[in-house]
Chains A and B, each alone.
Chain A
Amino acid sequence: MKSNETMTKLPANPERATLDGKNKFLGFWFFLGGETVLFASLFGVYLGLRNATNGGVSANELFELPLVFIATMLLLTSSLTSVFATMALKTNHFKRMIGWFVVTGLLGLAFLGLEIYEFNHYVHEYGHTIKSSAWGSAFYTLVGTHGAHVFVGISWITILIIRNLRRGMDLYTAPKFYLFALYWHFIDVVWIFIFTVVYLMGKVG
């Protein structure tokens, strides 16, 4: 199949037009349900340990909201661009979809870069590590797990784009891109919670 601007032969909602697509769609939503419990558990652990600073630095002293705000904006924007990509998918505009996914991936990469810088800063300037206190353990595990999910997402979309750039969209590949978009939205929603529970509550609570 060659990539064209519009594939008039594909139905609308190509990601769910086959049994395979329907199964993947439902299966992935269930997977996200499981991931929700995963992150909920991590949030529970974090909330239980947020004041266990072991005599070291506390959230209020440590966090710099401007940096975190920029990171948040990067991720939120990447979610928006993945929405544009999905819209292109549903209307069979392959090149447009790829373009938006590339932007999404780059924004995600920028987010990750900031986060790595942030962690590095905490470790070297404040001695705030995964070992320095129970709060430190909870912080790096929760935020780090989210970061790892972002990393997996970026790898995923990169592979999808490289593999499918030449073949274009068909009923076999559409579900693959759609699932990525679902995943990316999920990661974004988790970040909203992290921003609120970890950073905002850390400064205010």
Chain B
Amino acid sequence: MSAHAYKKKNPVWDWLTTVDHKKIGILYLASGAFFFLLGGLEAILLRVQLLYPEFDFVGAETFNQLLTMHGTTMIFLAAMPLIFGFMNAIVPLQIGARDVAFPFVNSLGFWLFTAGGILLNLGWFLGGAPDAGWTGYAPLSTTSPGNGVDFYVLGLQISGIGTLIGGINFLVTIINMRAPGMTFMRMPLFTWSSFITSGLILFAFPALTIGLALLMFDRLFGSQFFAAEAGGNPIIYEHLFWIFGHPEVYILVLPAFGMFSEIIATFARKRLFGYSAMVFATALIGFLGFMVWVHHMFTVGLGPIANSIFAVATMLIAVPTGVKIFNWLFTMWGGKVSFPTANLFAVGFIPSFVLGGMTGVMLSVPPADYQYHDSYFVVAHFHYVIVGGVVFGLFAGMYYWWPKIFGTVLNEFLGKLHFWLFFIGFHLTFFPMHFLGLMGMPRRVYTYLSGQSLDEANFAATMGAFLMGLATIIMVWNIIQTSVKGKKAGNDPWDGRTLEWAIASPAPEYNFAQTPLVRGLDAWWLEKRAGNKAMVAAEPLDDIHMPDSSILPLVLSLGLFIAALAAIYSNWIIAIGGLVITAAAMILRSVIDYHGYHIHKEDLPAEGREGK
């Protein structure tokens, strides 16, 4: 990395106090990867239990904990941090900035997520993990015995705050810190997607915050929000949850869409087809995403008028999504498409996600949904779009951006093996589930009775899960091998189109020695085609101002963690103590002056100056 460590730090302290978006990105990616493996293990255990009818591998209570944690972990502790990891690692580079708008808040977001993730999983060791589903519907969640659901409520609340401030950070970064010449309509699609996703986060998470808070109040303080006897109504929780929950799935998938736009264009050697339409479609999907939440509640009994309105709104979202699929296809049409692993996942995503979108339209029909809802048909649908869309995107992004983040290249042979095994396993697991649902198998069932024709499809689904597990092991092996003795990467291994490929791999501490001047869309590709070896600079070489690192984000998060844990056990003194620690950290942050430090221009390495 940089040749000038102004404050000689021991590496552990460095990573605990860093506010550098690139390091925070790596922290998010590593944590997300860990939780992805954990969530995957939970899934395999679920599928083993469902291998045979009335099988006795894990009991009913454990199964409910496994299914709750599988969903919660995958969505909140794996997918979201991995997405934030890529946003952190890449977006500032793509817009020609030196960091995000609020580096301290960036670090805080990571540590809050970590605290929440640990808290969520503590239940496994402390009497039982949450067991009311990742959706946590009241009254099941408010009456569930033991402390499991308390870990859910508080863990998610803390993580959620981290996500929310992360969203604000990227909104401000993208609006205020683009390099000169980078108008909004010259931003790469991944940055656009990150921007719109951040807007979704800002407006969706507060609804979850309230939903969780009400659950917490009912469980810990005896309030009556969801207690029918005292005038409460659990449907209120469902509304709050899904007002958050539907935008949440677009929060997950839009960044993946952005990644695919970059990857498909790069490996077709052709610019993205219909850039303006793609931007508009992404924004429209984001906006419409707030208008459809009741399609998760068609069977709640809200009446035919409400159901019809939301059915039509849901069908509408298919239109901009379809526009995107066609634009990706036509990006490749007329191009010169090559298939390194990143593009295998991108190309594999297209039919997989379209299948998921098809079942989405089928689900949008309320009368049909009266059959599909809460059956394995829905499980099939959302895994098709989340795995086929989000997970494939994350894998693709990993193979694509690994060189930029770590300076090495992942092994291609292992990558292809990973892709094929995972792709086959994925379809083998989730395609039969459509039929299981139609044949009458509800979801979230720890077993099924024999003689109901559900046996073969369940067996096939479990086989697919084993395949995906094997593929994941191969991926982990690839990561370990590459980390130990990986092939070194140059600046621009893929002949990329966007600014991040104009600088060294991995990027230097300050990203750009001189902020680049952007002359059009696909700024780096333009310069290369004009015969230049580097970006034109938009400013003279000068001292670079860097933000101070700080241990306060960790301390602040620790305070909340302590407070939450104490609250779960009704130890209010310690709980207040934890809040005091958090408040103290916030006060210190406010009263201490943080002016940062400078990297002097004389110390910038010669290559760095030319942006090579």
Contact = CB atoms under 8 A, between A and B. Distances in A.
B168 A53 contact: no
B264 to A, nearest CB: 31
A134 B235 CA distance: 13
Contacts of B587: 159
B225 interface: yes
Instruction: Find the residue from B168, B175, B207 having the highest chain A CB count within 10 A.
Output: B168
Contacts of A34: 164, 168, 202-203, 205-206
A133 interface: yes
Interface string A39-66: 0011011001101111000000000000
A19 interface: yes
Given A26-B176, A27-B168, A34-B203, A135 B223 contact: no
B206 A134 contact: no
Given A34-B164, A52-B231, A141-B223, A163 B591 contact: yes
A138 B225 contact: yes
A126 to B, nearest CB: 16
A142 to B, nearest CB: 10
Contacts of B590: 156, 159-160, 163, 176
B176 A137 contact: no
B171 A131 contact: no
Provide the main secondary structure of the chain A interface: helix
Given A130-B223, A134-B225, A141-B214, A35 B206 contact: yes
Given A30-B202, A38-B206, A49-B225, A134 B230 contact: yes
Contacts of B209: 38, 41
Contacts of B233: 48-49, 52, 134
A156 B586 CA distance: 10
Interface in A101-137: 130-137
B422 to A, nearest CB: 36
Contacts of A27: 101-102, 168-169, 171-172
A178 to B, nearest CB: 14
Given A45-B236, A45-B240, A134 B227 contact: yes
Nearest to A142: B210
Provide the main secondary structure of the chain B interface: helix
A132 B214 CA distance: 15
A172 B210 CA distance: 34
B232 A137 contact: yes
Given A34-B168, A141-B214, A159-B591, A49 B206 contact: no
B225 A23 contact: no
A193 interface: no
Contacts of A137: 214, 217-218, 223-225, 232
Contacts of B203: 33-34, 37
B232 A130 contact: no
Contacts of A156: 590
A172 B202 CA distance: 27
A69 interface: no
Contact of B232 (A22, A23, A134, A163): A134
A42 B210 contact: yes
B602 interface: no
A48 B231 contact: no
Contacts of B164: 34
B335 interface: no
A160 to B, nearest CB: 7
A176 B587 CA distance: 13
Contacts of A131: 221-224
B593 interface: yes
Instruction: Find the residue from A41, A49, A160 having the highest chain B CB count within 10 A.
Output: A41
Instruction: Find the residue from B101, B206, B218, B591 having the highest chain A CB count within 10 A.
Output: B206
B401 to A, nearest CB: 26
Interface in B570-593: 587, 590-591, 593
B207 A23 contact: no
Interface in B439-497: none
Interface in A141-185: 141, 156, 159-160, 163, 172, 176
B597 to A, nearest CB: 15
A169 to B, nearest CB: 14
A133 B102 contact: no
A32 to B, nearest CB: 10
A137 B221 CA distance: 10
A159 B589 CA distance: 11
A23 B176 contact: yes
A104 to B, nearest CB: 18
A48 B222 contact: no
B576 to A, nearest CB: 14
B231 A45 contact: no
Contact of B210 (A33, A38, A51): A38
Instruction: Find the residue from B171, B211, B231, B232 having the highest chain A CB count within 10 A.
Output: B231
Contacts of B224: 52, 54, 131-134, 136-137
A6 to B, nearest CB: 23
A45 to B, nearest CB: 6
Instruction: Find the residue from A131, A132, A137 having the highest chain B CB count within 10 A.
Output: A137
A48 B207 CA distance: 15
B213 interface: yes
A154 to B, nearest CB: 13
Nearest to B218: A137
A172 B593 contact: yes
Given A45-B225, A137-B223, A30 B172 contact: yes
Given A30-B202, A138-B225, A133 B230 contact: yes
A48 B236 contact: yes
Contacts of B243: 41
A156 B590 CA distance: 9
A33 B213 CA distance: 19
A27 to B, nearest CB: 5
B230 A130 contact: no
Contacts of B227: 134
B206 A37 contact: yes
A130 B222 contact: yes
Contacts of B207: 37, 41
B172 A130 contact: no
Interface in A50-102: 51-54
A45 B224 CA distance: 12
A172 B592 CA distance: 12
A44 B225 CA distance: 12
B179 to A, nearest CB: 13
A49 B231 CA distance: 7
Interface of A: 19, 22-23, 26-27, 30-31, 33-35, 37-38, 41-42, 44-45, 48-49, 51-54, 130-138, 141, 156, 159-160, 163, 172, 176
Given A27-B102, A37-B203, 11 more contacts: A27-B169, A34-B202, A34-B206, A41-B240, A49-B233, A51-B231, A52-B232, A134-B224, A137-B225, A141-B213, A156-B590
13 contacts: A19-B176, A23-B101, A23-B102, A27-B168, A30-B171, A30-B202, A34-B205, A41-B206, A41-B243, A137-B218, A159-B591, A172-B595, A176-B590
Closest 6 CB pairs of A and B: A52-B231, A137-B223, A134-B231, A38-B206, A134-B232, A41-B210
